[in-house]
Amino acid sequence: MIVDVENVSKRFGARTAVDRLTLQVPPGICFGLLGPNGAGKTTTMRMVYGATRPTSGAIRVFGLDISKNARAVRARLGVTLQQNVLIEALTPEENLRVFGRYHLLREPQLSQRVGELIELLELASHAKVPVKQLSGGFQRRLAIALSLMNRPELLILDEPTTGLDPAVRLALWGRIRELRAAGATVMLSTHYMDEAERLCDRVAIISAGRVVDHGPPAELIARHLAPEAVEIDCSPEEEALLLAGLGAPRHRMRVGGRIMVYLDNAAPLIDQIRRREPERLHSLVIRPANLEDVFLKLTGTMLEAGT
Protein backbone atom coordinates (compact mmCIF):
# COMPACT_ATOMS: atom_id res chain seq x y z
CA MET A 1 0.00 0.00 0.00
CA ILE A 2 1.16 3.53 -0.74
CA VAL A 3 -0.99 4.94 2.06
CA ASP A 4 -2.15 2.84 4.98
CA VAL A 5 -4.26 4.63 7.59
CA GLU A 6 -5.15 2.33 10.43
CA ASN A 7 -7.70 3.14 13.08
CA VAL A 8 -6.62 6.78 13.22
CA SER A 9 -8.28 9.41 15.39
CA LYS A 10 -7.55 13.11 15.65
CA ARG A 11 -9.02 15.23 18.40
CA PHE A 12 -8.80 18.99 18.76
CA GLY A 13 -9.73 19.56 22.40
CA ALA A 14 -13.21 18.14 22.82
CA ARG A 15 -13.81 17.96 19.05
CA THR A 16 -13.15 14.68 17.25
CA ALA A 17 -12.19 15.57 13.67
CA VAL A 18 -11.21 12.03 12.64
CA ASP A 19 -12.71 9.06 14.41
CA ARG A 20 -11.02 5.62 14.14
CA LEU A 21 -10.63 6.01 10.40
CA THR A 22 -9.10 3.22 8.32
CA LEU A 23 -8.27 3.40 4.63
CA GLN A 24 -5.76 1.98 2.19
CA VAL A 25 -4.54 3.43 -1.07
CA PRO A 26 -2.84 0.90 -3.38
CA PRO A 27 -0.17 2.08 -5.83
CA GLY A 28 -0.99 3.70 -9.16
CA ILE A 29 -4.59 4.63 -8.52
CA CYS A 30 -6.47 7.87 -8.03
CA PHE A 31 -8.19 7.71 -4.66
CA GLY A 32 -10.93 10.19 -3.74
CA LEU A 33 -11.95 11.38 -0.29
CA LEU A 34 -15.55 12.58 -0.33
CA GLY A 35 -17.52 14.05 2.53
CA PRO A 36 -19.53 17.04 3.68
CA ASN A 37 -17.85 20.17 5.05
CA GLY A 38 -16.11 19.35 8.31
CA ALA A 39 -16.10 15.57 7.66
CA GLY A 40 -12.35 15.34 8.30
CA LYS A 41 -10.90 15.16 4.76
CA THR A 42 -8.30 17.89 5.18
CA THR A 43 -7.33 16.66 8.64
CA THR A 44 -6.85 13.13 7.27
CA MET A 45 -4.66 14.39 4.43
CA ARG A 46 -2.63 16.57 6.78
CA MET A 47 -1.88 13.52 8.90
CA VAL A 48 -0.91 11.50 5.81
CA TYR A 49 1.75 14.02 4.78
CA GLY A 50 2.93 14.52 8.32
CA ALA A 51 1.74 18.10 8.92
CA THR A 52 -0.09 17.00 12.05
CA ARG A 53 0.07 13.88 14.20
CA PRO A 54 -2.80 11.52 14.91
CA THR A 55 -4.07 11.45 18.49
CA SER A 56 -4.12 7.65 18.11
CA GLY A 57 -3.67 5.04 15.41
CA ALA A 58 -0.93 4.47 12.82
CA ILE A 59 -0.21 5.88 9.37
CA ARG A 60 2.25 4.34 6.95
CA VAL A 61 3.19 6.00 3.67
CA PHE A 62 5.38 4.07 1.20
CA GLY A 63 5.48 1.47 3.97
CA LEU A 64 7.16 3.94 6.37
CA ASP A 65 5.72 5.13 9.66
CA ILE A 66 5.10 8.81 8.95
CA SER A 67 5.69 9.84 12.57
CA LYS A 68 9.26 8.47 12.41
CA ASN A 69 10.14 9.15 8.76
CA ALA A 70 8.41 12.43 7.94
CA ARG A 71 11.35 13.93 6.00
CA ALA A 72 11.99 10.85 3.90
CA VAL A 73 8.30 10.50 3.09
CA ARG A 74 7.80 14.18 2.27
CA ALA A 75 10.69 14.12 -0.22
CA ARG A 76 8.68 11.59 -2.24
CA LEU A 77 5.30 13.27 -2.18
CA GLY A 78 3.71 16.45 -3.47
CA VAL A 79 0.92 18.38 -1.78
CA THR A 80 -1.57 20.99 -2.91
CA LEU A 81 -3.39 22.43 0.06
CA GLN A 82 -7.00 23.56 0.13
CA GLN A 83 -5.68 27.13 0.42
CA ASN A 84 -2.94 27.98 -2.06
CA VAL A 85 0.47 28.69 -0.54
CA LEU A 86 2.13 31.08 -2.99
CA ILE A 87 4.50 34.00 -2.72
CA GLU A 88 2.18 36.74 -3.93
CA ALA A 89 4.79 39.35 -4.83
CA LEU A 90 6.63 36.93 -7.14
CA THR A 91 5.66 35.62 -10.56
CA PRO A 92 4.73 31.96 -11.20
CA GLU A 93 8.15 31.40 -12.73
CA GLU A 94 9.86 32.86 -9.65
CA ASN A 95 7.64 30.84 -7.31
CA LEU A 96 8.62 27.70 -9.17
CA ARG A 97 12.33 28.59 -9.02
CA VAL A 98 12.18 29.22 -5.26
CA PHE A 99 10.42 25.91 -4.70
CA GLY A 100 12.84 24.09 -7.01
CA ARG A 101 15.79 25.37 -4.97
CA TYR A 102 13.99 24.22 -1.81
CA HIS A 103 13.99 20.76 -3.42
CA LEU A 104 17.73 21.20 -4.02
CA LEU A 105 17.52 21.47 -7.80
CA ARG A 106 20.50 23.25 -9.41
CA GLU A 107 21.04 24.67 -12.87
CA PRO A 108 20.54 23.57 -15.55
CA GLN A 109 18.00 21.07 -14.15
CA LEU A 110 16.21 23.85 -12.24
CA SER A 111 15.37 25.94 -15.32
CA GLN A 112 14.46 22.83 -17.26
CA ARG A 113 12.02 21.61 -14.60
CA VAL A 114 10.48 25.08 -14.19
CA GLY A 115 9.95 25.23 -17.96
CA GLU A 116 8.36 21.77 -18.01
CA LEU A 117 5.91 22.65 -15.25
CA ILE A 118 4.96 25.97 -16.87
CA GLU A 119 4.17 24.02 -20.02
CA LEU A 120 2.38 21.16 -18.22
CA LEU A 121 -0.03 23.46 -16.37
CA GLU A 122 -0.32 25.88 -19.31
CA LEU A 123 1.03 28.82 -17.35
CA ALA A 124 3.22 30.34 -20.08
CA SER A 125 0.95 33.29 -20.85
CA HIS A 126 1.08 34.40 -17.20
CA ALA A 127 4.51 33.14 -16.16
CA LYS A 128 5.89 36.65 -15.63
CA VAL A 129 2.89 38.28 -13.94
CA PRO A 130 2.99 38.72 -10.14
CA VAL A 131 0.86 36.06 -8.47
CA LYS A 132 -1.32 38.65 -6.71
CA GLN A 133 -2.53 39.83 -10.14
CA LEU A 134 -3.54 36.33 -11.27
CA SER A 135 -7.08 34.96 -11.29
CA GLY A 136 -7.96 32.21 -8.83
CA GLY A 137 -7.74 29.57 -11.55
CA PHE A 138 -4.19 30.50 -12.53
CA GLN A 139 -3.15 30.58 -8.88
CA ARG A 140 -4.58 27.09 -8.47
CA ARG A 141 -2.69 25.83 -11.51
CA LEU A 142 0.52 27.28 -10.10
CA ALA A 143 -0.11 25.62 -6.73
CA ILE A 144 -0.47 22.29 -8.50
CA ALA A 145 2.64 22.91 -10.60
CA LEU A 146 4.58 23.51 -7.37
CA SER A 147 3.39 20.23 -5.88
CA LEU A 148 4.80 18.38 -8.93
CA MET A 149 8.30 19.89 -8.66
CA ASN A 150 9.92 16.82 -7.12
CA ARG A 151 8.18 14.32 -9.45
CA PRO A 152 6.22 12.90 -6.53
CA GLU A 153 5.35 9.23 -6.27
CA LEU A 154 2.31 10.28 -4.24
CA LEU A 155 0.36 13.42 -5.01
CA ILE A 156 -2.02 14.74 -2.37
CA LEU A 157 -4.55 17.26 -3.68
CA ASP A 158 -7.03 18.91 -1.34
CA GLU A 159 -9.95 20.09 -3.50
CA PRO A 160 -7.72 20.65 -6.55
CA THR A 161 -10.42 21.98 -8.86
CA THR A 162 -12.54 24.12 -6.55
CA GLY A 163 -13.09 27.46 -8.25
CA LEU A 164 -11.76 26.40 -11.62
CA ASP A 165 -13.71 26.96 -14.81
CA PRO A 166 -14.95 23.84 -16.68
CA ALA A 167 -12.24 23.95 -19.34
CA VAL A 168 -9.44 24.20 -16.80
CA ARG A 169 -11.00 21.43 -14.72
CA LEU A 170 -11.09 19.16 -17.75
CA ALA A 171 -7.48 19.99 -18.58
CA LEU A 172 -6.46 19.29 -15.01
CA TRP A 173 -8.25 15.94 -14.97
CA GLY A 174 -6.22 15.08 -18.06
CA ARG A 175 -2.98 15.98 -16.27
CA ILE A 176 -3.94 13.92 -13.23
CA ARG A 177 -4.73 10.92 -15.45
CA GLU A 178 -1.35 11.31 -17.17
CA LEU A 179 0.44 11.36 -13.84
CA ARG A 180 -1.41 8.23 -12.78
CA ALA A 181 -0.59 6.57 -16.09
CA ALA A 182 3.06 7.42 -15.45
CA GLY A 183 2.85 5.47 -12.20
CA ALA A 184 2.06 8.14 -9.60
CA THR A 185 -0.55 7.55 -6.92
CA VAL A 186 -3.03 10.34 -6.36
CA MET A 187 -5.09 11.03 -3.24
CA LEU A 188 -7.54 13.88 -3.63
CA SER A 189 -10.56 15.34 -1.93
CA THR A 190 -13.43 16.86 -3.83
CA HIS A 191 -16.97 18.12 -3.44
CA TYR A 192 -17.65 17.44 -7.11
CA MET A 193 -19.19 14.01 -7.47
CA ASP A 194 -18.83 14.07 -11.26
CA GLU A 195 -15.14 14.66 -10.79
CA ALA A 196 -14.85 11.74 -8.38
CA GLU A 197 -16.85 9.49 -10.69
CA ARG A 198 -14.73 10.27 -13.73
CA LEU A 199 -11.32 10.54 -12.14
CA CYS A 200 -11.16 8.26 -9.14
CA ASP A 201 -10.60 4.51 -9.31
CA ARG A 202 -11.75 4.23 -5.71
CA VAL A 203 -13.41 6.63 -3.31
CA ALA A 204 -14.06 6.70 0.43
CA ILE A 205 -17.12 8.56 1.60
CA ILE A 206 -16.45 10.00 5.02
CA SER A 207 -18.85 11.59 7.45
CA ALA A 208 -18.11 12.85 10.96
CA GLY A 209 -14.55 11.54 10.76
CA ARG A 210 -15.43 7.97 9.78
CA VAL A 211 -15.46 6.02 6.52
CA VAL A 212 -19.12 5.27 5.77
CA ASP A 213 -18.32 3.22 2.68
CA HIS A 214 -15.60 2.88 0.08
CA GLY A 215 -14.98 1.27 -3.28
CA PRO A 216 -14.99 2.01 -7.00
CA PRO A 217 -17.71 4.59 -7.80
CA ALA A 218 -19.71 2.18 -9.98
CA GLU A 219 -19.71 -0.44 -7.21
CA LEU A 220 -20.95 2.07 -4.66
CA ILE A 221 -23.78 3.11 -6.95
CA ALA A 222 -24.78 -0.50 -7.58
CA ARG A 223 -24.56 -1.37 -3.88
CA HIS A 224 -26.69 1.48 -2.59
CA LEU A 225 -29.15 2.42 -5.31
CA ALA A 226 -30.99 1.08 -8.32
CA PRO A 227 -29.61 2.11 -11.72
CA GLU A 228 -32.39 4.42 -12.91
CA ALA A 229 -33.19 7.64 -11.07
CA VAL A 230 -36.43 9.54 -11.63
CA GLU A 231 -36.81 13.04 -10.20
CA ILE A 232 -40.36 14.33 -9.82
CA ASP A 233 -41.86 17.48 -8.29
CA CYS A 234 -44.54 16.36 -5.83
CA SER A 235 -45.75 16.91 -2.28
CA PRO A 236 -45.52 14.14 0.35
CA GLU A 237 -49.29 13.58 -0.04
CA GLU A 238 -49.06 13.22 -3.82
CA GLU A 239 -46.08 10.91 -3.51
CA ALA A 240 -48.01 7.91 -2.21
CA LEU A 241 -50.57 8.25 -4.99
CA LEU A 242 -47.90 8.62 -7.64
CA LEU A 243 -46.13 5.43 -6.63
CA ALA A 244 -49.30 3.45 -5.87
CA GLY A 245 -49.50 0.04 -7.47
CA LEU A 246 -45.90 0.00 -8.67
CA GLY A 247 -44.32 -1.95 -5.84
CA ALA A 248 -41.86 -0.28 -3.51
CA PRO A 249 -38.91 1.41 -5.23
CA ARG A 250 -35.50 0.21 -4.08
CA HIS A 251 -34.84 3.62 -2.60
CA ARG A 252 -36.27 7.10 -2.56
CA MET A 253 -35.20 10.46 -1.21
CA ARG A 254 -36.94 13.79 -0.86
CA VAL A 255 -35.38 17.26 -1.16
CA GLY A 256 -38.01 19.86 -0.40
CA GLY A 257 -40.74 19.62 -3.06
CA ARG A 258 -38.93 17.06 -5.19
CA ILE A 259 -38.50 13.31 -4.83
CA MET A 260 -35.89 11.04 -6.34
CA VAL A 261 -36.97 7.47 -6.93
CA TYR A 262 -34.44 4.74 -7.75
CA LEU A 263 -35.69 1.83 -9.83
CA ASP A 264 -34.36 -1.12 -11.81
CA ASN A 265 -36.72 -0.03 -14.59
CA ALA A 266 -38.33 3.40 -14.70
CA ALA A 267 -40.76 2.57 -17.56
CA PRO A 268 -43.79 1.43 -15.49
CA LEU A 269 -43.65 4.59 -13.35
CA ILE A 270 -43.33 6.85 -16.37
CA ASP A 271 -46.23 5.05 -18.13
CA GLN A 272 -48.41 5.45 -15.07
CA ILE A 273 -47.68 9.18 -14.80
CA ARG A 274 -48.28 9.65 -18.53
CA ARG A 275 -51.72 8.03 -18.18
CA ARG A 276 -52.82 9.71 -14.96
CA GLU A 277 -51.17 13.14 -14.89
CA PRO A 278 -49.33 13.89 -18.13
CA GLU A 279 -48.64 17.53 -17.10
CA ARG A 280 -46.32 16.22 -14.39
CA LEU A 281 -43.95 14.95 -17.07
CA HIS A 282 -42.70 18.53 -17.63
CA SER A 283 -40.83 18.62 -14.32
CA LEU A 284 -39.71 15.00 -14.52
CA VAL A 285 -36.11 13.95 -15.12
CA ILE A 286 -34.94 10.40 -15.85
CA ARG A 287 -31.22 9.80 -15.50
CA PRO A 288 -28.76 7.14 -14.37
CA ALA A 289 -28.18 7.02 -10.60
CA ASN A 290 -24.85 8.63 -9.80
CA LEU A 291 -22.30 9.07 -7.06
CA GLU A 292 -24.00 12.24 -5.88
CA ASP A 293 -27.10 10.21 -5.03
CA VAL A 294 -24.98 7.75 -3.06
CA PHE A 295 -23.25 10.63 -1.28
CA LEU A 296 -26.57 12.16 -0.28
CA LYS A 297 -27.89 8.83 0.90
CA LEU A 298 -24.83 7.89 2.94
CA THR A 299 -23.99 11.24 4.48
CA GLY A 300 -27.57 12.05 5.36
CA THR A 301 -27.21 15.46 3.76
CA MET A 302 -30.82 14.99 2.67
CA LEU A 303 -33.40 16.90 4.65
CA GLU A 304 -35.64 13.85 4.75
CA ALA A 305 -34.60 10.43 3.57
CA GLY A 306 -36.91 7.73 2.33
CA THR A 307 -36.43 4.05 3.00
Ligand X SMILES: Nc1ncnc2c1ncn2[C@@H]1O[C@H](COP(=O)(O)OP(=O)(O)OP(=O)(O)O)[C@@H](O)[C@H]1O
Binding partner selected for residue 40 from Mg ion, ligand X, none, CB under the kind-specific 5 to 8 Å limit? ligand X
Sort 47 into a burial class: Cβ within 10 Å, 0-12 / 13-18 / 19+.
buried
Is the Cβ of residue 52 or residue 82 nearer to Mg ion in the bound state?
A: 82
Vertex 199, ends 198 and 201: CA angle to 5°?
100
Least Cβ distance, residue 49 to ligand X (angstroms): 13
Where do contacts with ligand X occur on this chain (CB under 6 A)? Answer: 12, 15, 17, 35, 37-43, 82
- Which residue number places its CB atom closest to Mg ion? 42
3-state SS class at 243: helix
Strands 285-288 and 228-233: antiparallel
Instruction: Say how far apart CA 276 and CA 238 lie, in whole Å.
Output: 12
Least Cβ distance, residue 112 to ligand X (angstroms): 35
Binding string to Mg ion for residues 244 to 283, with x set by CB under 5 A, is what? Answer: ----------------------------------------
* Site membership for Mg ion, residue 150 (CB under 5 A): no
Is the Cβ of residue 150 or residue 189 nearer to ligand X in the bound state?
A: 189
Those residues whose C-beta lies under 8 Å from the C-beta of residue 169, and which sit 6 or more positions away, are 161, 195
Least Cβ distance, residue 40 to ligand X (angstroms): 4
* Site membership for Mg ion, residue 80 (CB under 5 A): no
* Site membership for Mg ion, residue 42 (CB under 5 A): yes
Least Cβ distance, residue 82 to Mg ion (angstroms): 5
Is the Cβ of residue 191 or residue 250 nearer to Mg ion in the bound state?
A: 191
Least Cβ distance, residue 154 to ligand X (angstroms): 19
Instruction: Say how far apart CA 185 and CA 155 lie, in whole Å.
Output: 6
Binding partner selected for residue 38 from Mg ion, ligand X, none, CB under the kind-specific 5 to 8 Å limit? ligand X
Binding partner selected for residue 254 from Mg ion, ligand X, none, CB under the kind-specific 5 to 8 Å limit? none
H helix or E strand, kind and range, residue 25: strand 15-25
Contact 223, 211 (CB under 8 A): no
Least Cβ distance, residue 116 to ligand X (angstroms): 30
Is the Cβ of residue 91 or residue 189 nearer to ligand X in the bound state?
A: 189
H helix or E strand, kind and range, residue 220: helix 217-224
Instruction: Say how far apart CA 32 and CA 179 lie, in whole Å.
Output: 15
Those residues whose C-beta lies under 8 Å from the C-beta of residue 209, and which sit 6 or more positions away, are 9, 10, 16, 17, 18, 19, 21, 39, 40, 43
Residues that bind Mg ion in the complex, under the rule CB under 5 A: 41-42, 82
